[in-house]
Chains A and B, each alone.
Chain A
Amino acid sequence: MNKLIKWGLPVVGLGVLAAGWWLGLAWAPPDREMGDVQRIMYVHVPLQWMAMLAMFLNFVAAVAYLVRSNASWKLDSTAESAAEVGLVLGALGMVTGAIWGRPTWGVYWSWDPRLTSEAIMLVTYTGYLVLRRFVEDPDKRATWSAVVAILGAINLPIVWFSVRWWRSLHQVQSSPKTVDPQMVLCLRVSAIGLLLLTIAMLMHRYRIALAERRAEVALPEALPGTGGAASVHDTPKVA
């Protein structure tokens, strides 16, 4: 069963994603104004959705880690894997968005609320992952990075709100009612494919993170950096 999920999920995800992108490239009609350029939507929009989903998972895991008194390494590993996967997806989403923006807006980048918030989100979670690398003690790393994750997540709506007072250029989201049903179908298929693939990546990264935590707690002397065992607590959490 475990092996089935481990290998089946990415294969099915890739298959569905390939089907969605093929439909989007070959079957769906081109946009009336943007033409074929619009077809990048089937890559860009699912990437952004999944990045948001992963960051939300990171936030939930961070809150749960701080709130629960007997928090386990599982929550910490979930937070780490979600931040990493979300950062990759968000960076790809931003690149595809810039590629779309050049022919459509005439520029790769504009200071509109959504683009600015996303850029700040990517910097925030880069800082989060850097912090994790710079703290050796796994207990402190988990707590501190949870605090940083919460502060960073709270910041994003504030950024969005404050930049909105500058100006806005980003396209208003289309609702399924105003969009050609063929386009909606392509987008949904692509999104489901990427969702399966995201879950597979999260599970894989989570397994690695949890194994790392367990190894760190079991063998503190093996930690890199100064002190080693001296900086680690004597009471390992039950993972």
Chain B
Amino acid sequence: MSTPRPRPIGLIGATLALLRKDLLIEWRTRARLNAIVFFALATLLMFSFALGPDTRLLEKNAGGYFWLAILFASVLAMGESFRVESENACLDGIRLAPADARAIYLSKALGNALLLIALGIVLLPVMVALYGVKVVTGFVDLGTVLLLGSLALSAPGTVYAAISSNARARDVLLPLLLFPLVIPALLSLAKATSLVLQGDPMNQLGSWLGLLLGFNLIYWGVGFVLFPRIIED
């Protein structure tokens, strides 16, 4: 009776607390960011070798290569985000705290998106140097694309990472499940980024950003609703 009951924190409070925990772990180890930055850099470099020294070709397709590098790196990052929790049964501990399963989803997905945004910011100057691209329509457009793209990859990716982290052969499973799902996002991201880098005379950028926004709304909504069923026991 005398012990004060802890004030219940709502969905947003729990999400922020979990997100802070994940970011703190990331800041102290920097394990994931280091790994994915160098992986993505290597991927960007490999694209230029695969295509040969034709810089015009590289410049023309830079948007697609940029997002492919981020997509490949995101598979590593998202797979790792649940591996942390499976050690020492951390996920069970969080759920007994008790934390809302939906808060776990939101914090993990937001954390993954933040990581991808950071990766994109690091990759951009490299792409400018390697591929000789110019940001034609401005950094606001580019930032919007990066924000929507990172969110679009992490919303379904977090759901599938939670599933595959508990399955056998998880390293094969996550890309196999995720890649077909993010094709609409990848398509519109490559298009939108190309428009930002090469100019947008036909004013098409808005419709591709709209498609990305819709993709985000659908998968954040579905992930939010379905995620509790995945980690229930």
Chain A residue at minimal CB-CB distance from B188: A162
Q: Which one, B163, B176, B187, contacts A144 given CB within 8 A?
A: B163
Provided the pairs A140-B166, A150-B226 are in contact, do residues A124 and B211 lie with their beta carbons within 8 angstroms?
no
B133: min CB distance to chain A, Å: 22
CA distance A136 to B168 in the complex (A): 9
Q: Which one, A130, A152, A162, contacts B184 given CB within 8 A?
A: A162
Q: Does A88 contact B (CB under 8 A)?
A: no
Q: Is B173 a contact of A131 with CB atoms below 8 Å?
A: yes
Query: Which residues from chain A contact B232 at a C-beta distance below 8 Å?
Result: 143
Query: Which residues from chain A contact B28 at a C-beta distance below 8 Å?
Result: none
Which B residues between 162 and 183 are near A, CB-CB below 8 angstroms? 163-164, 166-169, 172-173, 176-177, 179-181, 183
CA distance A41 to B156 in the complex (A): 37
Q: Does B215 contact A (CB under 8 A)?
A: yes
Chain A residue at minimal CB-CB distance from B177: A127
Q: Is A151 a contact of B156 with CB atoms below 8 Å?
A: yes
Q: Which one, B159, B167, B180, contacts A123 given CB within 8 A?
A: B180
* Count, chain B residues at interface, CB 8 A: 31
Q: Which one, A130, A140, A225, contacts B173 given CB within 8 A?
A: A130
Chain A residue at minimal CB-CB distance from B166: A140
A139: min CB distance to chain B, Å: 9
Q: How large is the interface on A (under 10, 10 to 19, 20 to 34, 35 or more residues)?
A: 20 to 34
Provided the pairs A134-B168, A135-B168, A155-B181 are in contact, do residues A162 and B211 lie with their beta carbons within 8 angstroms?
yes
Which B residues between 219 and 233 are near A, CB-CB below 8 angstroms? 219, 222, 226, 229-230, 232
Which B residues between 194 and 233 are near A, CB-CB below 8 angstroms? 207, 211, 214-215, 218-219, 222, 226, 229-230, 232
CA distance A136 to B169 in the complex (A): 12
Proximity string of chain A (116-151) to chain B, C-beta cutoff 8 Å, 1 when within and 0 when not: 000010011011001100111000100110011011
Provided the pairs A162-B187, A163-B187, A225-B168 are in contact, do residues A134 and B173 lie with their beta carbons within 8 angstroms?
yes
Which A residues between 136 and 176 are near B, CB-CB below 8 angstroms? 136, 140, 143-144, 147-148, 150-152, 154-155, 158-159, 161-163, 165-166
New A-B contacts (17) at CB < 8 Å, excluding given A143-B232, A148-B160, A151-B156: A120-B180, A131-B167, A131-B173, A134-B169, A134-B173, A135-B168, A144-B163, A147-B159, A147-B226, A148-B163, A150-B226, A152-B181, A154-B222, A159-B184, A162-B183, A162-B187, A165-B207
